[in-house]
Amino acid sequence: MHRSSFFKELTTFHKPQKAPFRLIGAGICMAVPLFIGYFSNNLLIGSFGSLGIFTFLYYQTLPLKELLTLLSSVGAFLLFGNLVGVLSTHIPWLIPIVIALISFSARIIFRLYRIAKPGAFFIVMVTAMGSGTKIPLDKVPVMMSYVLLGVLTSLVVAVILYFIEGESPVPQKKISLQERLYTDPAALLDALHYAAILFLATYISQSLHLTNAYWMIVSCAAVLQGDNLRAVMHRNIQRILGTMIGLLIAALLLSITFTSLETIFLICFFFLTVEFFIKRNYTIANFFTTPMSLLLANLARHQYLVSLLNYRLIGIVLGSLLGLLGAFVLTTCLKFYNRAYQLNENLDKEIE
């Protein structure tokens, strides 16, 4: 019964209360930098601009001023994370430290301010991707301007969506950072654990000289999005299974030669598909994440993608298992700590 219920949870389709216009908005955000890059004959605009459009995925039903403050802050965080990730490639031993610091900061801030999922995930993702992209220092400002284009596109689409939805949300109560930390003291331990596991993931991926080492980091961060050990176990299985199916789809697509324009349409289609399924069924969403990622990577860099299929599977499996192991160790340690704490309390009472 326990096993069947676990399997049932894995295959359940959820029905999120999400307006269809948000899905359309996400698709527009992805399409804008890609098509600007295509028509300006500079596909790097689309490749780097797509990192900034993740800002839109944090859209919430808030008063316009609060919404713009939230999205601008997230966009600035994405831009900063990618920047320090790119800069860290010039001093490789700094990469695990940079990933850990960004992970810790993002995790604790997003938790304390109750910024809904995807939470810190995309901040870690663009930082990790930056750490896997070595760019000459004189070209860094130009590449960051492409990321900024994605952020600005998200803000414009968010404002349009706000007026289309026409809702009148109630302003949220302002709470100081000190009060937030006082009411959620576990946030500090959670952020430290998150940063430590991702530091280890970065260190291992670099030590093994994995191709596109950030795949292991991103996979580990994705699995750690689970709210508890059971949820992390779900994510671990769903991500590995979804990736295996995704690799089959990617292998099929790689046997076909697409033009740049056809590739852009495919990327937009897969992005919309991922966004549609991500809150409904995480396994199915991962069917389309792999082909989208590989097509996006090939858009400007023209890597030999067939050889990347094995490396992506290795990186995602290792990252998922490490995330699960990290969650298990923390959960077990906390249980033992609580038992020791209760035992000490009982002993103190007996002595008295």
Residue among 120, 126, 129 nearest 58 (CA): 120
Which stretch of 5-19, 115-129, 175-189 has the lowest confidence by average pLDDT? Answer: 5-19
Pick from 143, 175, 163, 153: nearest CA to 75: 153
Query: Backbone phi, then psi, for 132, in 5-degree steps?
Result: -105, 10
Query: For 294-340, how does the pLDDT look when each residue is reduced to its tens digit (9 = 90+)?
Result: 788 777 665 545 556 677 778 878 888 888 888 888 777 777 766 66
Where residue 78 falls among pLDDT bands split at 50, 70, 90? very high
Tokens 């713009």 — which residue? 68
pLDDT at position 348 is 47
Question: How remote is the C-alpha of 200 from its chain's centroid?
Answer: 18
Domain boundaries, the chain: 17-168+176-351
Average pLDDT over residues 81-89: 94
Q: Which amino acid, residue 170?
A: V
Concatenating the DSSP letter of every residue in 37-67 gives HHHTT-HHHHHHHHHHGGGGGG--S--HHHH
315 closest CA partner among 229, 206, 191: 206
How much is the pLDDT for 250? 79
> Among the listed ranges 4-8, 43-47, 250-254, 331-335, which one has the minimum average pLDDT value?
4-8
Q: Which two tokens stand for residue 265?
A: 């349409």
Q: Which of 166, 194, 153 is nearest to 56 (CA)?
A: 153
Residues 170, 217: Cα–Cα separation, whole Å: 38
Q: Per-residue pLDDT for 158 more than 90?
A: yes
The answer to whether the beta carbons of residues 308 and 212 sit under 8 Å apart is yes
Distance CA 350, CA 155 (A): 62
Tens digits of per-residue pLDDT, 173-206? Answer: 787 778 888 888 888 888 898 899 999 999 998 8
Residue 258 in contact with residue 32, Cβ under 8 Å?
no
Q: What does residue 35 show for φ and ψ, rounded to 5 degrees?
A: -75, -35
Report how far residue 85's alpha carbon sits from residue 346's, in angstroms, rounded to the nearest whole number: 49
State the helix-helix crossing angle for 260-277 and 43-52, rounded to 10 degrees.
10
Query: Can you spell out the DSSP letters for 79-94?
Result: HHHHHHHHHHTTSGGG
DSSP state of 13: P
What's the confidence (pLDDT) of residue 172?
74
